[in-house]
Amino acid sequence: MDQAKLREDLVAYVDGELPAAEARAIETWLAGDPQAQELRRHLQEDALALRGLFGAALREPVPTPLTAAIGAGSVAPTSAGGTVVELPRKAQPRPVARWLAAAAIAGLVVGGVGGFLGERQQGRQEIAQLQQQLVQTQQQDQQQMAQLQQTQQQGQQQMAQLQLQLAQMQQQGQQEIAQLHGQLDQTQQQLAAAQQPQPWIMQVAQYHKIYAREQRHLVEVPAAETPHIEQWLGKRLDDLAFKVPDLSAFGLTFKGARMLVVNGAPVAQLVYLPADGRAVALCIIHSKKDDKPLTASQQDDLNLVDWRVKGYGFVVIGWENPDALRAIAEASQKGFAL
């Protein structure tokens, strides 16, 4: 149904000027439309206000001269299908002016109120539309905020995962570093152990400290019996064929030899003396360990250079400086056909 026609009929309904059939249609419309009910309430309030303002004038009886003038006037049809009573100019009495003015004002007020109500209804519709747009905007904002929160939550989860991975990598790296340190320490210990003199060397060094103090009993067999020394000690060392090394180039004179025993195994000791200084000894033992290059070490105030070759272990012991002692060890190797 046309909304404009419904609103027009509603005004007539409020004024009690609507036929019964149309009034029932309006009541049906009102029952299902809260906005129409609100409009009816405002129309009723406005009608009451108008009756309060102009009710007294409208209740006054029509003046007799006006009634007579209407009877004397001519009736003319209007374009809208109504009639207009044209009053003679002389038949318009002055006392009627107040009543007509009131009626005119009432018509203006009614028209103004109708326009006001129409504008107010349109304003309400616009407000309803704005409210609906506001609700939609709020819903969109809430959705965007929810998406933003979800994005932030996902970002936080990803950050937490990255931090966990970083912590795991750091922990793994620390473990690997600790393992490398452990391997390095083990290697250093092995290297240090390899550089340390063997137990037999340590015992021979202790013997040398004691025998080196001797003058008359420095050796067991003197250098004058060198061939015997070579035969005797060679036999004790599983028939090792050797010649007493000549170390005179280092200012050392061969003084003789003695046989030591370390852990039940014989050790040949060849003793040399410098022109001014303490004794230097070359010691030989049978060994089952792998070959080993010249290795310098130190025990207390003694310097040592030891090596192994083809089942025999050798060590040069003395108070000489390490470089000089190494050179003596290299020269000593030439006396053994290994």
Q: Annotate 257-287 with b (16+ C-beta within 10 A) or e (fewer).
A: bbebebeeebbbbbbbbbeeeebbbbbbbeb
- pLDDT per residue, tens digit, the chain (338 aa), is 577 787 888 888 988 888 988 889 889 888 988 988 898 898 888 878 777 666 665 566 766 766 666 666 555 554 434 454 555 554 444 444 444 544 554 454 445 545 545 666 676 787 788 888 888 888 988 998 898 889 888 989 999 999 999 999 999 888 888 888 888 887 676 655 555 557 899 999 999 999 998 888 899 999 999 999 999 999 999 999 999 999 999 999 999 999 999 989 999 999 999 988 899 999 999 998 999 999 999 998 999 999 999 999 999 999 999 999 999 999 999 888 76
CB 75 within 8 A of CB 83: yes
CB 288 within 8 A of CB 308: no
**Helix ranges (DSSP H) in 196-275:** 199-211, 226-236
Burial class of residue 213 (count of CB atoms within 10 Å of its CB; 0-12, 13-18, 19+): exposed
The amino acid at 35: Q
Residue 247 has a pLDDT of: 96
Other Cβ atoms within 10 Å of 331 Cβ, number: 16
Q: Provide DSSP, 154-205.
A: HHHHHHHHHHHHHHHHHHHHHHHHHHHHHHHHHHHHHHHHHHSPPHHHHHHH
Residue 189 has a pLDDT of: 65
44: left (phi over 0), alpha (psi -120 to 50) or beta: alpha
Counting Cα atoms < 13 Å in the Cβ hemisphere of 30 gives 17
Residue 257 has a pLDDT of: 97
Could you give the CA distance from residue 273 to residue 216 in angstroms, rounded to a whole number? Answer: 13
Residue 113 has a pLDDT of: 47
Residue 95 has a pLDDT of: 46
Q: Provide DSSP, 104-142.
A: HHHHHHHHHHHHHHHHHHHHHHHHHHHHHHHHHHHHHHH
Residue 283 has a pLDDT of: 96
